[in-house]
C-alpha cells in the first residue's frame, strides 16, 4: 500500500506543540487580508496534512468496499479501515477492539444507545438523568425515547460558574433513574465533569452511564476503563479527523445484549425471509457501506495525537486557556460566561451590549474566527438568561499570538460600537 507523504515526528516536550501549527494547511491563509486566527475548534477542528494526505492516498490507490472483497484493493481498504479500530481501541484503552463501534458522530452514537440499549428496558415513570449543561445531541435522543416509552427526564442543575451540582446529582440518582447521560466536557462553557466519581456513584446504585466525550477527546487523555463508564461517544471532526466519522465505545457485555440499531448489509451473518442471524460485534451495529475514507482519515488523526501525547496537548491548552481567560477578563465591559474551576479549551463571553453575532462578524473582518449563538446548548443559555454568547475555543495548534489577536479585535469592536 502506498504511504502518505506527511511524516509525524515524536515530540519530547510541551513547547514543541507550538510547532504543530505548521502541520495544518488551512491555518496558513489570509482571511479578509489578515492571517487566520482559528478559535472555533469546539465546532470543528482543522485537519493536519497527515490526515488530508492519508485520505487522498487511499482515494487514489486503495479505494474499494471493505470486508466482502477477495481482491487486493478490498484487502487494502479493509486493513486500513480496521486498523483505525485498533488505533482507537488503544487510544481510549478499550478492553478490546469489538467495543469500538464506528458511527457518523457523537449524535448517532447517543441515538444508538438511546434506542438499542435504553428503549427496551424503559417503562412509564422510569427516569433518565441528564444535566443542564448538555448539548442538544445529548438531550433530544433521550426525549425521543421518553416519548416512545413514557419515561421521563430529570435534570441536574448547575451553578453560576457552570459547574454541575454533584450533591444534587447524588440525590437525583436515587429517584428511579435507569440511565445517566452527561457531557465529559461542556461545549458551551468548557466545564469538565468529575466523571470517574460520578460513574462510581451511579454504578453503586446499578445505574449505567453514557459519557458524551465530543469535547474531551481532542483535549485530554481518555481512558474508558479507568473512568469505568458503560458508553463513551465522540466525533472525529472535533479531534482533527474528517466529518461524518465517530465512535461509540460500549462495554462488551452490554453491546452483546443489545439489539441492532439499524438493519442492512454487513450487520448480518445470514439472511432468510423467516429469520436473519446478526453479525458479531462490532459489525452488528454497522449496517451498510461505512464511511471508509473518513474512518481511515480518523485513524491518521488518532496516530497524530498519540505521537504528540495527550498529556502534552492538555498541558499546552491549560496554559493557553489560563492566558485567554485572564486576557479576556481584563477587557473592560467583557462578561465571562462559564468560570468553573476545572475547564478545558472553551471560553464563552459577552461584550458590552454588542450582539454576539455582530461581534463575530466584526472579528471575522479581522481574520478572527469565533462562534456565536446558543452553541446547541439552549438550556445553558436559558439558565444564564441570555440568547447566546460569543465563544472562543482552542485546539492544539493555537498560541498566545492568537489570543492577543482576539483581544485586539475585541478592542476594535468596542471602538466601532462606542
Ligand atoms: C458536547 C457535544 N456533544 C455532541 C455534539 C454533537 O456532535 P456531532 O454533531 O459531531 O454529532 C457536539 C458538537 O458540537 C458537542 O459539542
- At residue 103 the predicted structure's pLDDT band, cuts being 50, 70 and 90, is very high
In this prediction, residue 1 carries a pLDDT of 43
The helix/strand/coil state of 28 is: coil
Q: Is the CB of 183 under 6 A from ligand 1?
A: yes
In this prediction, residue 418 carries a pLDDT of 87
Mutate to test the pocket of ligand 1, among 105, 106, 237 (most ligand atoms within 8 A of CB): 106
How confident is the model over 112-138, as pLDDT tens digits? 999 999 999 999 999 999 999 999 999
Contacts of 70 (CB under 8 A, 6+ apart): none
* 83: pLDDT strictly greater than 70: yes
Percentage of the chain with pLDDT > 70? Answer: 96
> From ligand 1's centre to the CA of 234, what distance in Å?
8
> From ligand 1's centre to the CA of 13, what distance in Å?
30
Q: Is the CB of 366 under 6 A from ligand 1?
A: no
Mutate to test the pocket of ligand 1, among 376, 377, 395 (most ligand atoms within 8 A of CB): 376
In this prediction, residue 147 carries a pLDDT of 98
- At residue 176 the predicted structure's pLDDT band, cuts being 50, 70 and 90, is very high
> From ligand 1's centre to the CA of 355, what distance in Å?
24
How confident is the model over 374-393, as pLDDT tens digits? 999 999 999 999 999 999 99
Mutate to test the pocket of ligand 1, among 107, 110, 346 (most ligand atoms within 8 A of CB): 107
CATH class, 58-307 region: alpha beta
Q: Please check whether residue 134 is in contact with residue 188, taking contact to mean a CB–CB distance below 8 angstroms.
A: no
Over residues 332-356, the mean pLDDT reads 98
- At residue 13 the predicted structure's pLDDT band, cuts being 50, 70 and 90, is low
Over residues 302-320, the mean pLDDT reads 97
> From ligand 1's centre to the CA of 43, what distance in Å?
8
Q: Is the CB of 393 under 6 A from ligand 1?
A: no
> From ligand 1's centre to the CA of 20, what distance in Å?
25
How confident is the model over 277-305, as pLDDT tens digits? 999 999 999 999 999 999 999 999 999 99
* 259: pLDDT strictly greater than 70: yes
Tell me the helices (H) and strands (E) count for the chain, helix number first: 13, 17
* 222: pLDDT strictly greater than 70: yes
The answer to whether the pTM exceeds 0.85 is yes
In this prediction, residue 4 carries a pLDDT of 44
Over residues 320-337, the mean pLDDT reads 98
Residue whose Cα lies nearest atom 14 of ligand 1: it is 43
* 398: pLDDT strictly greater than 70: yes
- Output 196 or 14, whichever has higher pLDDT: 196
> From ligand 1's centre to the CA of 256, what distance in Å?
26
Distance CA(362)–CA(416), nearest Å, equals 9
* 261: pLDDT strictly greater than 60: yes
Domain boundaries, the chain: 12-41+309-417, 58-307
Distance CA(115)–CA(231), nearest Å, equals 13
Mutate to test the pocket of ligand 1, among 183, 213, 238 (most ligand atoms within 8 A of CB): 238
> From ligand 1's centre to the CA of 376, what distance in Å?
8
Catalytic residue set: 376
DSSP alpha helices (H): ranges in 214-278? 224-227, 252-257
In this prediction, residue 2 carries a pLDDT of 42
**The C-alpha cell of 241 is what?**
479527523
* 272: pLDDT strictly greater than 50: yes
Give which of 268, 251, 266, 246 is closest to 117, Cα–Cα: 251
Q: Which atom of ligand 1 is nearest to the CA of 183?
A: 1
Distance CA(151)–CA(210), nearest Å, equals 17
Across the chain, what does the average pLDDT equal?
A: 96
Q: Is the CB of 40 under 6 A from ligand 1?
A: no
Give which of 375, 395, 376, 105 is closest to 235, Cα–Cα: 105
In this prediction, residue 18 carries a pLDDT of 76
Give which of 2, 20, 42 is closest to 347, Cα–Cα: 42
Residue whose Cα lies nearest atom 7 of ligand 1: it is 106
Over residues 349-355, the mean pLDDT reads 97
Residue whose Cα lies nearest atom 12 of ligand 1: it is 214
In this prediction, residue 68 carries a pLDDT of 83
**Angle at the Cα of 388 (from 382 to 391), degrees rounded to 5?**
125
CATH placement of domain 12-41+309-417: 3.90.1150.10
**Angle at the Cα of 274 (from 272 to 278), degrees rounded to 5?**
55
Q: How many CA atoms lie within 13 A of 271 on its CB side?
A: 6
* 15: pLDDT strictly greater than 60: no
* 156: pLDDT strictly greater than 70: yes
In this prediction, residue 114 carries a pLDDT of 98
Contacts of 397 (CB under 8 A, 6+ apart): 20, 21, 23, 24, 27, 38, 46
Q: Is the CB of 215 under 6 A from ligand 1?
A: yes
Q: Is the CB of 347 under 6 A from ligand 1?
A: no
In this prediction, residue 16 carries a pLDDT of 72
Q: Is the CB of 138 under 6 A from ligand 1?
A: yes
> From ligand 1's centre to the CA of 411, what distance in Å?
31
Q: Is the CB of 235 under 6 A from ligand 1?
A: yes
Q: Which atom of ligand 1 is nearest to the CA of 107?
A: 11
Q: Is the CB of 163 under 6 A from ligand 1?
A: no
Over residues 71-92, the mean pLDDT reads 98
In this prediction, residue 143 carries a pLDDT of 98
Amino acid at each position: 500500500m502506498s504511504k502518505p507523504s506527511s511524516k509525524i515526528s515524536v515530540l519530547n516536550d510541551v513547547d514543541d506543540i507550538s510547532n504543530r501549527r505548521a502541520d495544518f494547511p488551512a491555518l496558513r491563509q489570509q482571511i479578509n487580508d489578515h492571517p487566520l486566527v482559528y478559535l472555533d475548534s469546539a465546532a470543528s477542528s482543522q485537519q493536519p496534512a497527515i490526515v488530508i494526505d492519508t485520505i487522498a492516498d487511499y482515494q487514489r490507490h486503495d479505494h474499494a468496499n471493505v470486508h466482502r472483497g477477495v481482491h487486493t484493493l478490498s484487502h487494502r481498504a479493509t486493513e486500513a479501515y480496521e486498523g483505525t479500530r485498533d488505533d482507537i481501541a488503544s487510544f481510549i484503552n478499550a478492553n478490546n477492539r469489538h467495543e469500538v463501534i464506528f458511527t457518523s458522530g457523537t449524535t448517532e452514537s447517543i441515538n444508538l444507545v438511546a434506542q438499542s440499549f435504553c428503549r427496551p428496558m424503559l417503562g412509564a415513570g422510569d427516569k433518565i438523568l441528564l444535566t443542564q449543561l448538555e448539548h442538544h445531541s445529548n438531550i433530544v435522543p433521550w426525549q425521543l425515547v421518553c416519548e416512545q416509552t413514557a419515561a421521563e427526564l430529570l435534570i441536574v442543575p448547575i451553578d453560576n460558574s457552570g459547574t454541575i451540582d454533584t450533591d444534587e446529582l447524588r440525590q437525583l440518582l436515587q429517584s428511579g433513574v435507569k440511565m445517566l447521560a452527561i457531557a465529559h466536557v461542556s461545549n458551551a462553557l468548557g466545564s469538565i465533569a468529575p466523571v470517574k466519581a460520578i460513574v462510581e456513584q451511579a454504578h453503586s446504585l446499578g445505574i449505567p452511564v453514557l459519557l458524551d466525550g465530543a469535547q474531551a477527546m481532542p483535549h485530554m487523555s481518555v481512558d474508558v476503563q479507568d473512568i469505568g463508564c458503560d458508553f463513551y461517544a465522540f466525533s472525529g471532526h472535533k479531534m482533527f479527523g474528517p466529518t461524518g466519522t465517530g465512535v461509540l465505545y460500549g462495554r462488551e457485555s452490554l453491546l452483546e445484549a443489545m439489539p441492532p440499531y439499524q438493519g442492512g448489509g454487513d450487520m448480518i451473518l445470514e439472511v432468510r425471509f423467516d429469520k436473519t442471524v446478526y453479525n458479531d460485534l462490532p459489525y452488528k451495529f454497522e449496517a451498510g457501506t461505512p464511511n471508509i475514507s473518513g474512518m481511515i482519515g480518523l485513524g491518521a488523526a488518532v496516530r497524530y495525537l498519540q505521537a504528540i501525547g495527550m498529556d502534552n496537548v492538555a498541558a499546552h491548552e491549560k496554559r493557553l486557556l489560563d492566558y485567554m481567560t485572564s486576557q479576556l477578563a481584563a477587557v473592560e465591559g467583557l462578561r465571562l460566561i462559564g468560570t468553573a474551576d476545572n475547564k478545558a479549551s472553551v471560553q464563552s463571553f459577552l461584550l458590552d451590549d454588542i450582539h454576539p453575532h455582530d461581534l463575530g462578524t466584526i472579528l471575522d473582518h479581522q481574520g478572527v474566527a469565533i462562534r456565536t449563538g446558543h452553541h446547541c446548548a439552549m438550556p445553558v443559555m436559558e439558565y444564564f438568561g441570555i440568547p447566546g454568547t460569543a465563544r472562543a475555543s482552542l485546539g492544539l495548534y493555537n498560541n498566545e499570538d492568537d489570543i492577543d489577536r482576539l483581544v485586539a479585535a475585541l478592542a476594535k469592536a468596542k471602538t466601532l460600537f462606542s
